[in-house]
Amino acid sequence: MERPIGIMRGVLRGADAPTSVKKGTIPRIWTFARPYRGWLLAFLLLTVVSATVGVLTPVLAGRVVNTIVAGGDVSAAAGVVIGLAASIAALAVLEAIVGLCSRWFSSRIGEGLIVDLRRAVFEHVQRMPVAFFTRTRTGALVSRLNNDVIGAQSAITSTLATVLSNSIQLTLALAVMIGLAWQVTLLALLLLPIFVLPARRMGRTIADLRRESADLNAGMSTQMTERFSAPGATLVKLFGRPDEEAAEFGERAVRVRDIGVRTAMVSRVFVTALSLVSALAQALVYGLGGYLAVTGVLEPGTVVTLALLLTRLYTPMTALANARVDVMTALVSFERVFEVLDLEPMIAERPGARELPAGPVSVRLRDVRFGYPSAEQVSLASLEDVAVLDQRSNDEVLHGIDLEVGGGQLLALVGSSGAGKSTIAALVPRLYDVDGGAVELAGVDVRDLKFAALRGAVGVVTQDGHLFHDTIRANLRYAAPEATDAELVDALQRARLGELLASLPDGLDTVVGERGYRLSGGERQRLTIARLLLAKPRVVILDEATAHLDSESEAAVQAALVEALSGRTAIVIAHRLSTIRAADTIAVIEHGDVVERGRHDELLAAGGRYADLYHTQFADTQFADDPGVIEPTGIACGIEGCTVVHREEHLVS
């Protein structure tokens, strides 16, 4: 049974066999395999020994039979039989030891390659720009790190050994069989097409069924993944669709069951047919060999040897028939890994990059022009699950922006949605590089700074601050790995989370859940602010940090932001103009241009775009025209620090 199953696996691997790989793939594979060349040589030598032992055993078994039937001196015959039996036993022990040693070398080489490839891909992907992640399907990228990496290592530890072992076994078995009985060998070779061709034909059928099963399982897994996430489960409940979802999932599960039954039955028919053909071939060998033995042409032991060697002939031949398939499949896995490694990161640290000067950090955008990179620059069609990448060219979104904020001061960016505010904010920490002009920190172009210096100087709080599915401690220490528990608690208290921490049974060991969904929106934002406080950046960017919060949560977050902004240079993007009216400079961004700049009172008095935005925001309230109405809570920042602006302290001008 083992032989037909092995053949079936080889045929199934060939169902979608690639026909070629890119030039230069094999030399690149060797760069990863080179560190293991000593172990690889030992592994291949052990494979040769194992293949040789596999052919010697049937020969010795035949001699045992010949000695038994030959008669003569009983003592002498018994001694020969015992000696041959001991040799067979020794070969069995040797084969077992060689198999264990071969497996050890194979696993060390294979697992080592997996580590090297995964590390290379992971480290490379970490250097890719944000645009890469906005276009790439996460599942496709993870597949490169899992399925393709494992497929690639099989080229070294499985395919290479299989080809070598089968080639040696086939050569030795064929040579011995021809030497023993060319007639029987010829008959065995004539039956080979009957053995191989049906296997390949039925193998394609089974491969089609398995592909269909994989697609159905993937669809079912996708539904589970989407519906079991916190946002997906919430959406299902909000629209009252649990029954429909259950019915749809049930239909998918039934289809998976049905295809599983069909695959199982076809596979069983396939294996049974191969076993039958193999048994018929064995019967023919015994029939012709037995006839030749009875007529005195062959010795009885030779018939036994031929029958045993038949397995060493059919299996290698069939496996080698699919060797090209196995090799190409493994090479394509390497190619898919290299495809990711060949994507050049658009943002790289320059040779001789500088540290950031000490002291307050000013931020200046000097004649900045920028357009988001095209799909061809940052992505792969296979990672986006599309046939062809988006060929549209991306237009320029920032047109000669000139802005400056002094050390310890606050710059507020306002404007319509899509005007370019968040794009400006993304250029300061160098998530993207400008196409023209420069972004400068303390007079130094960010492209001339070391990554570590830039990341240590600039902190960002977005409207949806991300948290890992981990403990509060781990999420905070992501910003400051060496921080003590006392420092973590202090940061949480400064972020107005002291009461929350005291109420949690597990304290800092509380797991926040996927993306922090076990916390409220305001608590998540304050936790990201606490993380920012631990990082101690000199420049803080707030990208609509309170956009999705209710008034009570916003007030708590605003209070926490006082700590985050105190004494630091700040760039604030806010959808509520009340949060930035005390800024040192307010810049109005529209269509990628700065259309107005100044302080709140100046811009309001000018009656331009800022005034329009201000009055539009409060059009449905009495805030716009009634000077006696109290302004919503905000933050007032100056060079000496920031304070919370309470409702009773600030009136609308």
Whole-number pLDDT of residue 434: 92
Whether residues 518 and 483 share a domain: the answer is yes
Whole-number pLDDT of residue 90: 93
Is the dihedral angle over the CA atoms 446, 450, 451, 454 positive or is it negative?
negative
The mean pLDDT of 422-442, rounded to a whole number, is 92
pLDDT one-digit tens code per residue, 441-450: 999 999 999 9
The mean pLDDT of 503-514, rounded to a whole number, is 85
Rounding to the nearest 10 degrees, give the CA dihedral for residues 384, 387, 393, 394.
-20
Name the more confident of 188 and 575: 188
Residue 412 is inside which H or E element, if any? strand 410-415
pLDDT one-digit tens code per residue, 245-297: 888 888 888 888 888 888 788 777 766 766 677 777 778 888 888 888 888 88
Whole-number pLDDT of residue 631: 38
Whole-number pLDDT of residue 94: 93
Percent of residues, the chain, with pLDDT higher than 90: 12
Whether residues 407 and 264 share a domain: the answer is no
Secondary structure E strands in 508-633: 539-543, 569-573, 585-590, 593-598
pLDDT band for position 439 (cuts 50, 70, 90) = very high
Question: Is residue 352 included in any domain, yes or no?
Answer: no
The mean pLDDT of 561-574, rounded to a whole number, is 79
Whole-number pLDDT of residue 404: 93
pLDDT one-digit tens code per residue, 29-45: 888 888 888 888 898 88
Question: Is residue 429 included in any domain, yes or no?
Answer: yes
Whether residues 368 and 305 share a domain: the answer is no
Which of 40, 174, 143 lies closest to 382 in space, CA to CA? 143
Q: Quick check: 392 pLDDT over 90?
A: no
Helix/strand/coil (H/E/C) assignment for every residue in 334-395: HHHHHHHHCCCCCCCCCCCCECCCCCCCCEEEEEEEEECCCHHHHCCHHHHCCCCCCCCCCC
Q: Quick check: 510 pLDDT over 80?
A: yes
Of the listed ranges 166-170, 420-424, 426-430, the one predicted with least confidence: 166-170
Helix (DSSP H) and strand (DSSP E) numbers for the chain = 24, 12
Whether residues 402 and 538 share a domain: the answer is yes
Distance (Å, rounded) from C-alpha 533 to C-alpha 492?
Answer: 9
Residue 405 is inside which H or E element, if any? strand 396-405
pLDDT band for position 302 (cuts 50, 70, 90) = confident
Q: Quick check: 588 pLDDT over 80?
A: yes
Q: Is there a contact between 491 and 480 (Cβ–Cβ < 8 Å)?
A: no
Which of 378, 482, 391 lies closest to 129 in space, CA to CA? 378
Whether residues 138 and 219 share a domain: the answer is yes
Q: Quick check: 618 pLDDT over 70?
A: no
Name the more confident of 72 and 361: 361
Whether residues 46 and 9 share a domain: the answer is yes
Whether residues 273 and 409 share a domain: the answer is no
The mean pLDDT of 300-319, rounded to a whole number, is 79
201 in helix, strand or coil? helix
Whole-number pLDDT of residue 265: 83
Domain containing 436: what range? Answer: 363-372+395-645
The mean pLDDT of 403-428, rounded to a whole number, is 90
Whether residues 140 and 289 share a domain: the answer is yes
Q: Quick check: 487 pLDDT over 60?
A: yes
The mean pLDDT of 527-543, rounded to a whole number, is 87
Q: What string of DSSP letters covers 41-70?
A: HHHHHHHHHHHHHHHHHHHHHHHHHHHHHH
How many domains is the chain built from? 2
Question: Is residue 389 included in any domain, yes or no?
Answer: no
Of the listed ranges 58-67, 319-328, 355-364, 637-646, the one predicted with least confidence: 637-646
Question: Is residue 596 included in any domain, yes or no?
Answer: yes
pLDDT band for position 514 (cuts 50, 70, 90) = confident
Which of 376, 315, 321, 366 lies closest to 344 in space, CA to CA? 376
Question: Is residue 377 included in any domain, yes or no?
Answer: no
Whole-number pLDDT of residue 200: 61
Whole-number pLDDT of residue 194: 65
What's 161's domain CATH number?
1.20.1560.10
Of the listed ranges 1-15, 438-452, 533-547, the one predicted with least confidence: 1-15
Question: Is residue 384 included in any domain, yes or no?
Answer: no
pLDDT band for position 589 (cuts 50, 70, 90) = very high
The mean pLDDT of 528-543, rounded to a whole number, is 87
Q: What string of DSSP letters covers 436-491?
A: EEEEEETTEEGGGB-HHHHHHHEEEEETT----SSBHHHHHHTT-TT--HHHHHHH
Whether residues 316 and 368 share a domain: the answer is no
Whether residues 111 and 36 share a domain: the answer is yes
Residue type, 409: Q
Question: Is residue 613 included in any domain, yes or no?
Answer: yes
pLDDT one-digit tens code per residue, 205-215: 766 776 677 66
What's 482's domain CATH number?
3.40.50.300
The mean pLDDT of 486-510, rounded to a whole number, is 87
Q: Quick check: 66 pLDDT over 80?
A: yes
Name the more confident of 61 and 649: 61
Q: Quick check: 477 pLDDT over 60?
A: yes
Q: Is there a contact between 604 and 618 (Cβ–Cβ < 8 Å)?
A: no
Whole-number pLDDT of residue 79: 86
Whether residues 70 and 138 share a domain: the answer is yes
Distance (Å, rounded) from C-alpha 27 to C-alpha 529?
Answer: 49
Q: How many other β-carbons are positioned within 10 Å of the β-carbon of residue 71? A: 8
Distance (Å, rounded) from C-alpha 389 to C-alpha 381?
Answer: 5
Whether residues 457 and 586 share a domain: the answer is yes
Question: Is residue 440 included in any domain, yes or no?
Answer: yes
